[in-house]
Chain A
């Protein structure tokens, strides 16, 4: 089925067209509530008028902080009709992250719910252009969403073209700062239509809204592909595996998209019943590496013919997809072929195009590629060239007949004495070994090879294979240089909030190499700072001063991988965490301390900086010695002196805090348990 007729319209026009075609058909279903296409169109039109009547003008940004509820969908279409640009923000973002995103696009209004009003009201002072706050369920200092739905004002003349920007979706730059990818009506609808076509979607389909609507995967393949098909959408306000399974059964869901973790959680849930998923027909698994075993289980047990896809926010998002008719290899081990209207190439470090089958950085061009990052020409120029090619930062190969394999991120490539090793390739082999639950391959420093691949593996419950057995298995299946040098077993792998493996954290859990810096008894970071610079709330500014006071050239001399060998009185007070923050800011990767000493020690743990307790190492190391530290095993090697020391292993409790990247994530877990 083709949806080409939708390629040259706006989002507002899309809903209008579908409301004419499928007027009484259910579009949105939440609990016992139903929105037909005609209802949704009527509400979106009224909301558009209402928003403009509040003083919003064409081109203004409209932020959305809502869970997956029908009002989110109505707002997206209303904004389009009113000529506003939507900026969805994930409901899980905390205040400082929300502020960073608002700061980027400076929206004039925000649609949210009562739960977030307090935070938004606190932020309003910093964003004078944020004139209107609209809440879907009441609350102080907010306009009522339902009042706007009753608007009878006429929509002012609005000239919107398919090439106009419809949404700015936030994505993260290399250093973790948000960037706003500008996506046009055309790119979004075109991509949604392409996806609907690949899914063979029809008005009979019922989509599950499991992926957050605030990201590209939730917006295009879910909301827009569903709308283009004239199908129904059953949103799940907050994702829980049990609720997803219940909704699939209750609403007779046919299309289920998700990240691999969602499918794994559902399959492993005690409520899972294969027969309750009998209505499932198809779905997209994307957003992270898709383990073959999981794909197979979903196809068999959930009756869901998974489509694997590759995409990124900057491409609206889908770039490649497998097809329902693909053979088993393509369908399980690749991310499929380029979508219609999308061109691909793979380039080397010099930007030259590589031949088929060669590994390099994947580049994308087509109607779906963003027009740039909002108000950030510098960041745009880094990824988008004048011919319209978008550099994805992902490493891939393209086979002769088109299927694409993603082998890793550019920064993750391991260079073993000149041989490039792509972690994705190695990880796929490791994951196929029975009993491997998770595997990540990272490069660790090595004196001879520069870097060596190390496999970080989580065993399934009950599995008890050794590292040697796994390496033997890998040796039979991989080029010799790509076989991991060693295997380190983990209870779990450190992951970021979005679920991606934190490779840099993992790398530093495995092996850190650098030079030792010794700090003496006389350095009281808590005290020296106040004397001159203390009255600032910026901990990082304090950190800079702190180290300058300790040693004027400290920060300049410090290199990533270096370790601090802390004499016992180091950072005696430091209740403001100046010492550990400064050490982390300066790039130090670990601290070796004499004992579980003072506030400094707990502060280091609380901010996720590994600290090893080893008096022998402190005594045995002289400043400038080359040191290798393996936090995961507690091994400390003094390469200059040829000595090895054993640190006290961390108790599980502290390791949990470090693995989560600090105390705050642990607190959130505890709070969630209490609720």
Chain B
């Protein structure tokens, strides 16, 4: 019986030649990752384990990215505790000035290779599927256990195949493909499934588009979201100095629980309306809705390609006087590249604030928390009630083109309203 890409990666990590959906396994992990938020609880759990040692300090990574640079004393204390733990156990530790958002940072540092299992105490760890790694979110107790054992327990998920046909129109990117996918199947549509993304449309898109898609697999309830590794993957990993990795692909007779096909030529930029990522409409249907804030970057669209997209719209324009715009590069490297390419100049001239890399406002932490009744267009991945601030605030999820156009127009806007084609 053929195996899916997900099954092949898992089999490779539990010493078996074959595993299939429904099976319980203990899988060896290549990286255990936590932020300060999940790390602090993981540390407390880890210290409860009698005689526990970190199984392999090089493979345990703490990235301080949620409330950093520390937004208040409590955050500073949490980071301090994580820093001390990292020092004592010799694990890899990234923070202010040397960091970025974990899902952008680790691939960039060459720490993720195709075929790896990345267990992260952050639900968006599924992002690493953009490099064909089985990334999956775990809890803090899980993280503590994985830090001690170097493995996690897993139920092998079923896989769903998503096939995208055609060439995406202008202003349409990976974010729109995943928003439309979540709309179609719903926020539970891929519950405990591995989403496998394929199709010729991907040939027209870059790795940063794959990044946005894998990142939001969890928004459909998926265990992970995977792409087959190809030459683009190989080039990225080589540049980052990553290990060679393993280039698995699903067998022709692999069993998929569902197959969904999309004609992306009919797509236009999409918007996920409050309060669920499945509540998706084409931007043309809802343009005109007045907004107060725009946030561009963070993890989902925080790569250099995303900032280039935003800058393409902002160039020669200003943020609407009623609106405030926050740009958040995903890592120090992305920030520096943006600086070298002149993108930061464009943003500042467009009255945008440019922040240090942080998850910040995405989870209502800092750097742009919303007041009651405020409306924000964001390139992030979740728009649940209260996600970016007050419970009555509203969040609209879009790609960076739409976010930038909305900032300029002062209302939800299609990029074509700013740039006439």
Also in contact, A537 and B41, with CB within 8 A (given A522-B275, A575-B121, A606-B142) = yes
Chain B residues within 8 Å of A663, by CB: 141-142, 145
Chain B residues within 8 Å of A96, by CB: 44, 47-48
Shortest Cβ distance from residue A392 to the other chain B in the assembled complex, whole angstroms = 30
Question: In the complex, which of the residues A534, A537, A594 contacts B81, with contact meaning CB atoms closer than 8 Å?
Answer: A537
Is B71 interfacial (CB 8 A cutoff)?
Answer: yes
The answer to whether A602 touches B139 (Cβ under 8 A) is yes
One of A4-12, A338-346, A523-531 contacting the partner: A523-531
The answer to whether A94 touches B44 (Cβ under 8 A) is no
The answer to whether A531 touches B141 (Cβ under 8 A) is no
Shortest Cβ distance from residue A27 to the other chain B in the assembled complex, whole angstroms = 31
Shortest Cβ distance from residue A662 to the other chain B in the assembled complex, whole angstroms = 7
The answer to whether B142 touches A602 (Cβ under 8 A) is yes
Is A157 interfacial (CB 8 A cutoff)?
Answer: no
- When C-beta atoms are compared, the residue in chain A nearest to B141 turns out to be A606
Is A644 interfacial (CB 8 A cutoff)?
Answer: no
One of A255-263, A279-287, A440-448, A666-674 contacting the partner: A666-674
One of A75-83, A193-201, A565-573 contacting the partner: A565-573
Number of interface residues of A (CB under 8 A): 51
The answer to whether A577 touches B141 (Cβ under 8 A) is yes
Shortest Cβ distance from residue B217 to the other chain A in the assembled complex, whole angstroms = 12
Is A664 interfacial (CB 8 A cutoff)?
Answer: yes
The answer to whether B365 touches A667 (Cβ under 8 A) is no
Chain A residues within 8 Å of B67, by CB: 534-535
The answer to whether B382 touches A524 (Cβ under 8 A) is yes
One of B161-169, B186-194, B406-414 contacting the partner: B186-194
**Bound CA–CA A664/B44 (angstroms):** 11
- When C-beta atoms are compared, the residue in chain A nearest to B70 turns out to be A535
The answer to whether A599 touches B188 (Cβ under 8 A) is no
One of B148-156, B238-246, B254-262 contacting the partner: B148-156
Is A635 interfacial (CB 8 A cutoff)?
Answer: no
- When C-beta atoms are compared, the residue in chain B nearest to A653 turns out to be B24
The answer to whether B41 touches A530 (Cβ under 8 A) is no
- When C-beta atoms are compared, the residue in chain B nearest to A666 turns out to be B145
The answer to whether A572 touches B141 (Cβ under 8 A) is no
Shortest Cβ distance from residue B342 to the other chain A in the assembled complex, whole angstroms = 34
Question: In the complex, which of the residues B24, B38, B124, B149 contacts A576, with contact meaning CB atoms closer than 8 Å?
Answer: B38
The answer to whether B49 touches A527 (Cβ under 8 A) is no
Number of interface residues of B (CB under 8 A): 62
Interface digits, A507-527 against B, CB 8 Å rule (1 contact, 0 not)?
A: 000000000000001111011
The answer to whether B37 touches A572 (Cβ under 8 A) is no
- When C-beta atoms are compared, the residue in chain A nearest to B188 turns out to be A568
Question: In the complex, which of the residues B24, B78, B148, B386 contacts A528, with contact meaning CB atoms closer than 8 Å?
Answer: B386
Question: In the complex, which of the residues B51, B71, B122, B142 contacts A535, with contact meaning CB atoms closer than 8 Å?
Answer: B71
The answer to whether A531 touches B145 (Cβ under 8 A) is no
**Bound CA–CA A651/B51 (angstroms):** 29
In the complex, which residues 553-584 of chain A have their Cβ closer than 8 Å to any Cβ of chain B? 568-569, 572-577
- When C-beta atoms are compared, the residue in chain B nearest to A662 turns out to be B141
Question: In the complex, which of the residues B81, B187, B365 contacts A521, with contact meaning CB atoms closer than 8 Å?
Answer: B187
- When C-beta atoms are compared, the residue in chain A nearest to B385 turns out to be A522
Is A273 interfacial (CB 8 A cutoff)?
Answer: no
Is A394 interfacial (CB 8 A cutoff)?
Answer: no
Interface digits, B268-288 against A, CB 8 Å rule (1 contact, 0 not)?
A: 000000011000000000000
Is A464 interfacial (CB 8 A cutoff)?
Answer: no
Is B221 interfacial (CB 8 A cutoff)?
Answer: yes
A-B contact count, CB below 8 Å? 181
Is B40 interfacial (CB 8 A cutoff)?
Answer: yes
Shortest Cβ distance from residue A37 to the other chain B in the assembled complex, whole angstroms = 36
- When C-beta atoms are compared, the residue in chain A nearest to B219 turns out to be A572
**Bound CA–CA A532/B365 (angstroms):** 8
Interface digits, A213-252 against B, CB 8 Å rule (1 contact, 0 not)?
A: 0000000000000000000000000000000000000000
Interface digits, B208-224 against A, CB 8 Å rule (1 contact, 0 not)?
A: 00000000001101000
**Bound CA–CA A522/B386 (angstroms):** 10
The answer to whether B49 touches A667 (Cβ under 8 A) is yes
**Bound CA–CA A549/B364 (angstroms):** 14
**Bound CA–CA A597/B141 (angstroms):** 17
The answer to whether B276 touches A522 (Cβ under 8 A) is yes
Is B388 interfacial (CB 8 A cutoff)?
Answer: yes
Shortest Cβ distance from residue A601 to the other chain B in the assembled complex, whole angstroms = 8
Is A92 interfacial (CB 8 A cutoff)?
Answer: yes
Shortest Cβ distance from residue A243 to the other chain B in the assembled complex, whole angstroms = 19
Is A292 interfacial (CB 8 A cutoff)?
Answer: no
Is B72 interfacial (CB 8 A cutoff)?
Answer: yes
Also in contact, A534 and B49, with CB within 8 A (given A569-B187, A575-B138, A663-B145) = no
Is A536 interfacial (CB 8 A cutoff)?
Answer: yes
Shortest Cβ distance from residue A429 to the other chain B in the assembled complex, whole angstroms = 38
Question: In the complex, which of the residues B77, B148, B364 contacts A531, with contact meaning CB atoms closer than 8 Å?
Answer: B364
Is A486 interfacial (CB 8 A cutoff)?
Answer: no
Also in contact, A576 and B384, with CB within 8 A (given A96-B47, A521-B187, A598-B191) = no
Is A419 interfacial (CB 8 A cutoff)?
Answer: no
**Bound CA–CA A535/B386 (angstroms):** 16
Is B115 interfacial (CB 8 A cutoff)?
Answer: no
- When C-beta atoms are compared, the residue in chain B nearest to A119 turns out to be B47
Question: In the complex, which of the residues A531, A536, A607 contacts B369, with contact meaning CB atoms closer than 8 Å?
Answer: A531
Is A465 interfacial (CB 8 A cutoff)?
Answer: no
The answer to whether A574 touches B123 (Cβ under 8 A) is yes
Interface digits, B392-417 against A, CB 8 Å rule (1 contact, 0 not)?
A: 00000000000000000000000000
The answer to whether A599 touches B139 (Cβ under 8 A) is yes
**Bound CA–CA A607/B48 (angstroms):** 13
The answer to whether A575 touches B363 (Cβ under 8 A) is no
Interface digits, B346-372 against A, CB 8 Å rule (1 contact, 0 not)?
A: 000000000000000001110001000
The answer to whether B145 touches A664 (Cβ under 8 A) is yes
Chain B residues within 8 Å of A599, by CB: 123, 137-139
The answer to whether B386 touches A95 (Cβ under 8 A) is no
**Bound CA–CA A480/B140 (angstroms):** 49
Chain A residues within 8 Å of B124, by CB: 573
**Bound CA–CA A211/B38 (angstroms):** 39
Chain A residues within 8 Å of B219, by CB: 572
**Bound CA–CA A50/B77 (angstroms):** 40
Is B177 interfacial (CB 8 A cutoff)?
Answer: no
The answer to whether B386 touches A527 (Cβ under 8 A) is yes
Chain B residues within 8 Å of A534, by CB: 37, 67, 363-365
**Bound CA–CA A245/B358 (angstroms):** 60
**Bound CA–CA A671/B365 (angstroms):** 37
The answer to whether B123 touches A597 (Cβ under 8 A) is no
In the complex, which residues 268-327 of chain A have their Cβ closer than 8 Å to any Cβ of chain B? none
Shortest Cβ distance from residue A155 to the other chain B in the assembled complex, whole angstroms = 37
Chain B residues within 8 Å of A574, by CB: 123, 139
Is A596 interfacial (CB 8 A cutoff)?
Answer: yes
Contacts A530-B363, A664-B141 known; list 13 others, CB within 8 Å: A94-B48, A94-B50, A521-B187, A523-B385, A528-B364, A531-B389, A534-B37, A572-B219, A572-B382, A595-B192, A597-B192, A657-B153, A664-B48
What are 18 A-B residue pairs whose CB atoms fall within 8 Å in the complex? A523-B384, A528-B386, A530-B37, A531-B389, A532-B364, A568-B188, A572-B219, A573-B137, A575-B121, A575-B140, A577-B141, A594-B188, A598-B192, A598-B221, A599-B139, A654-B24, A664-B144, A671-B148
Q: Hey, which bits of chain B sit against chain A, CB under 8 A?
A: 24, 37-38, 40-41, 44-45, 47-52, 66-67, 71-72, 74-75, 77-78, 81, 88, 120-124, 137-142, 144-145, 148-149, 153, 155, 187-188, 191-192, 218-219, 221, 275-276, 363-365, 369, 382, 384-391
Q: Hey, which bits of chain A sit against chain B, CB under 8 A?
A: 92, 94-96, 122, 521-524, 526-528, 530-532, 534-537, 539, 549, 568-569, 572-577, 594-599, 602-603, 606-607, 651, 653-654, 657, 662-664, 666-668, 670-671
Counting from the closest, the 6 A-B pairs by CB-CB distance are: A531-B364, A573-B123, A603-B139, A524-B384, A535-B74, A530-B363
